Amino acid sequence: MTDLMIPAEGGTASAAQRSDRSVIPVVLILTLMAAGAGALAGMNLVDQTRLAVLKTERHQSDDGIVPIYESTGYIQAIKPVVANLADPKNVFVRIQGTVIFKKEDVKDAPVLVSKIESDISAYIRTLTLVDIEGAGGLRHLREDLNHRAQIRTEGKVNEFILETMVVQ
């Protein structure tokens, strides 16, 4: 019962108070040890990640990058094509793009470009506004124009690049 008594002024502290004071340094030391262990683990993880990224970059640089187009290709811009849609009839579309030819087929490029322009105009007249709405519609339009250019030129075109499209 003497431990539970409040000491008089100038008396010594009880055992319970002394044990509370001794817990604080222990908690502080454990906290510092945990923070140090976390910092070491974090630095180790960063080093491992850096090594993995460097290894991946080294592996990718060893692989030869295959270009999409041959360096001997020929680029020809097409004139803007304006045509009205099938539905609604009062909506007009203006399309401008570029055709990438293979180098050996450059001699008749102006003739092929005019055929592609007329083909684009005819194709636009078959579309509705719903067909070209949104990102999916634009992607389908680009793919269809690319496919039509390749068919019209009998494979002499690598790609038709859709540069601008204005719907009014």
pLDDT per position as a tens digit, 98-107: 998 877 657 7
Instruction: State pLDDT tens for residues 2-13.
Output: 555 555 555 555
At residue 99, φ and ψ (nearest 5 deg) are -110, 135
Nearest alpha-carbon partner for 74 in 113, 121, 117: 113
Write down the pTM of the prediction.
0.58
